[in-house]
Structure 1
Amino acid sequence: MKMPEEEAFAVLVKLMQDYKMRDMYKPTMAELGLCMYQLENLVQELIPDLHVHFQSQSFHTSMYASSWFLTLFTTALPLPVACRIMDVFLSEGMEVIFKVALALLTLGKEDLLCLDMEGMLKFFQKDLPPRAKADPNGLMTLAYNMKFNPKHMKKLEKEYTVMKTKEQEEMVELRRLRTENRLLRQRVELLEAESSELADRLVRGQVSRAEEEETTFVVQRELAALRHTHLETSHQLEIANEEIRNLSLLMEETHTSRQSSLEEISMKRELLCQKEDLIKCLQEELVKVRLREAENDALIRDLRARIQELEEDKKTLRESTPDNSVAHLQEELIAVKLREAEANLSLKDLRQRVGELSQQWQRHLQEHRVEATPPPDSTPKKLLFWENRGNETQRLEEELMTTRIREMEVLTELKELRLKVMELETQVQVSTNQLRRQDEENKNLREELEKAENREREHVTKLREESHRYTDLESKMKENLMMSRIRDAEHSHYVAELKQRISLLELKNEEMVTEGELRSNLDDSEKVRELQDKVADMKAEFPTPTSPDVEPWKWLES
C-alpha cells in the first residue's frame, strides 16, 4: 500500500484513463448515473423482493451505492477488505464493483426487508461493514458467484444513453419553450398596452361621436322648431284670409244697404279699391311667403342630406386609408375660410334687411295711424265701421310684417345653422386628419416594434450560439488543462527518475575516483619498495668508505 508519491500519482492517472474513473468526477457525473442505472436493473433482476421494498420506501440506489462507485468501497468497508477489492478491480475492472455491491445487498437482504428508510441508511453505514470485515472470503466468494452478463450491461448502457439523450433534448426543448414563453409574455404585455391605448382612443372617438350626435340632435330640434313656427305662420295666414272674406261679405252687405248716398258709395268704392289692393298685396305676400316656405323646406332637406353625407364621409374616412397631403389640407382650410367669410357677409346683409324692414314697418305704422283718423262729418255707424275696418287692416298688416320679420329671423337662423354645419365639417376634417396621422404613427411604431423584436430574436439566437461555443471551449480548455496536468506529472516523475539516476551515477563516479586514488597510492608504495631494494643491493655491491679523510674519487679509483 505504501509507495512513493510519483508511483501513486501514476496509479491514479492509470485509474482515471484506463478504468473510466475520470467520468465519475465530471460535473455531469454521467458515468456514475450509468452505474446507478445498471445496478438498479441488476437488483431488480437478481433480488426482486429487495427492489420492491426499496421502491415502496422510495429508497433510491444513489442513496447507498454512490459512495461505493466513487470511492471503490474505501469509505464504506474496512481497509483490508477495500484493499482486496481494489486489487481485484485493478485486474478485472468495474465488473467486480457490481458483483461486490450485489453480494453486500444479498448479505443484508433479510435485515433490509424489515427496516424503513432511516433504518436502512443506518444499516449501510454501521451494520454492514462489520459483517464484511468478519468474513471477507465469504463476501468475495458470494461476489464471484453472482451472475454477470457483459452483453446485458452494454444493452443497459445503450438504454441509459438513449434515455439521457432524450432527457437532454427535453431539457433543451424546455429551455426553448421557457424562452419562447417569456418572449410571448412580453409580447402579450405589449399587446395589452396597445389594446388599452386603442380602447382609450375608441372611447375618445365614441365620446366625440356622441358630442357630434348631440349637436346634430340640437340642429334637428331647431329645424323642428322652425317648422313649427312656419306652420303657425301658415295657420295665421289662413285665419287672415278668412277674415278678409268675412270683410268682403260685410262690405257687400253695406254696399246693398247704403245705395242711397253717392258719397258713401264713392267712399265705399275707394275703400273697396284700397281693400282690394290690400288683398292683392296680401295675396302676393302670401304667395311669396309660401315660396319662401318651400325654399326653407328645400334648404332643410339639403341640410339633412348634407348632414347624412357628412356622417357617411366620417365613416368612410375612418375606414379609408390616411392621406397626409398637406396641400389638400391647405386647400380645404382656404375653402372653409371662404365659406365662413361668405356666410358672415350674408348674415350682415340679412341683418341690414331686417333693420330696413323694421324701419319700413315703423314708417308704415305711422302713416297708417295718420290715415286712420276718421272724417268729422261721419255718423256713428260709419265711425264704427271705419274703426273695425281700420283695426282689421292694421292687424293684418301687423301680422304680415311679423311674418316677414319671422321669415327673416328664420333665414338668419338658417344661415347660422349653415355656419354651424360648416364649423362641424371643419372639425370633422381636422379630427379625421388627426386620426389618420395617429394611425400612421401607430403603424410606424408597430413596424419599429416588429423590427426590434426581430433584432432581439437574432441577438438571442446569437447569444445561444455564443454560449454553446463558450461551453464547448470551456470543456475543451478543462480537458486540455487536465491533460497538461497529467503530462506535467509524468514529466515531473520522469525528471525525478533522471535525478535519481544522476545521483547514482555521481555516487559510482566518486567510488571509481576513490578506487583509482587508492590504486595509485598502492603503485607508488610498491615503486618505493623496489627502489629501496635496489639501493640495498647497490650498497651491498659497493661498500662505503670507513675513514672520512679519504676522498671519494680516490676511493672509487681504488
Structure 2
Amino acid sequence: MSSLASQLSPDEMKLLGKLEEQNRLLEKDSKSLYSVNGILQSPSSPINLSFEEDTWDQVVKEWEDWSKNKVGQLKELIRRGIPAHLRAHLWQLLCDAQNVADRQRYSQLLKTSFPSETLIRRDMTRILPQHKLFQSLDSNSQEALFNVLKAYSALDREIGYCQGSVFIVGMLITQMSEEEAFCVFVRLMKDFQMRELYRSTMAELGCCIYQFDSMIQEQLPDLHSHFQTQGFHTSMFSSTWFLHILLSSLSVAAAPRIFDIFMCEGLEIVFRVGLAMLYLKQAELIKFDVEGMMQGLYSENKLLKQRLGMLEKRCSEKLVSQLKTELETTRVNASKSYNTLKEMQAKILQTEGNSTGPDEDSVEYLQKELISCRLREAEALTGLKELKLHIKDLDEKWQQVHCGGQQKGGSVQNILQVELLSAQLKETHSKAALIESRHRLMQLQTENELHSNQLKRIEAHVNSQREHLQELTSQTNIYTTNFKRADSF
C-alpha cells in the first residue's frame, strides 16, 4: 500500500480521504440501511455475496412492496450497485417500462421515414468511436441504437432527435434489447425531466444550471468567486453534464453505477457528482484562467478514470480475498458432508446385511415379552404336571381294578369298569398331548411375533437411515453447487 500511495497525486489522495470519510459517516448514520435490521453489512466489512444476491432476488420478487414501503433501503442497495445480471430488469422496474403504451408501436415507428436520420448517423459516426463506453458496441448494437433514436424521433415529433440522447440510449443498448431500451427511454423522457431538458427553449436546462450554480456558490464559495472574476459561467461545462447524465465524463465502470442511481433518484445524482468533481478540482481550478479551467474540467474525465481504476483495483482485491475464503469454507463443508455420507452408507449396508441382529433400542420391550412368555410357559407346565398326576392316579386305579377283576373271575361289572378306566386313561393321555401341542404352538407364535416385531423395528430403522442418507445427499449436492459457483469466480 505504501508503494501504491507514493504513486498517487495529492489530488487523488484527497479523493480517497473524501470517500473514506463518507463511508465512516454512512456507517455511523442510524438511518442508514447498514443499521436497519442488519440487512446489509457496512462498506468496510467483507462482502457477503450470497446474502446480497438473495436480497436482490427478494427485491425483484417483491418489487411492489420494496418500491412503496422500503424506498430508503432500496436507495441504499442501488447506491451499493445493482448486480450486472439484474441491471436491465431493475432499470425497467425503476421506470415502470413494462407499462409503456407505445411498446406495440415500435416496429411501426421504425418504418416511418424521418428527416433526422442523416443527422443521427453523422452523430453516431462522430461520437461512438471517441468514447470507450460505446467501443464494445458491434454493428448490430449500433444499428439498434440508431433504431431506438429514430423510433423516438418519429414518436415525439415535438422534441425529435437530440444529440445528448445518443449517450443515454447507448448506455441502455449496452444492457438490454432495443425494444426494451426504447420503452425505458420513453419513460425517461416523460417522467425524468429529460423531455423538458431537450426542448429547444432550454428552459428546464437553464433552471438546472441556475440551481447548480447556486449550489456551487453555497458549497464552494471560493471557486464560485473565481468563476465570477474570470467571467466563467457554469453553463460552459455543466450543460453537457445534465444532457448526457455525466455519461460523457465517466469511465466504462463508473457510468452504469451512476446511471443506476439516476434511475432511482433522478437528476439529483448529477448535482451531487458534479459538485464532488468540482470540489476535488477546486484548488487547481482557482489557479487557472478561463482557458485553463476549460482544459482542467475537460481533463477531469482522465483523472476520474485513474482514481476509479485504483479504487476498483482495491475493491477487486478484497473481492478475490473474500471469494477465496468462501471457496475454502465450501471445500471443507463439502469434504465433511462427503465423509458423513460415506459413513451413513456403510451403516445402512451393515444394518441391511445384519437384519436379524439385536436392536439396542428394543431391549426393554424384549425383556417384557420374555417375562410374559415365561409366565405363560409356567402356567402351561403347571397344568401339564397336574394332568400327569391325574393320569398316574387313573393308571393306579386301572391296575387295581384290572388285577382285582382277574382274581374275582372277571365279572361283567369289573370288565366294564376296567374298560371305563382304560378309556378315561386314553382320554387323559390325549388331553395331555393336546396341551403339550398347544404349549408348543404358543411358543412358536410367541417367537414368530417377537421376530416380526424385531423385523419391523429393523425395517423402520433402515428407512430412517435411508431418509437421513437422502438428506445428506441433498446437502452434498448443495455444497457441490456452492463449490462450483465459488470456483467459477
For the criterion TM > 0.5, the same-fold answer is: no
More helix by share: 1
Larger-gyration structure (1/2)? 1
What's the TM-score, normalizing by structure 2? 0.27
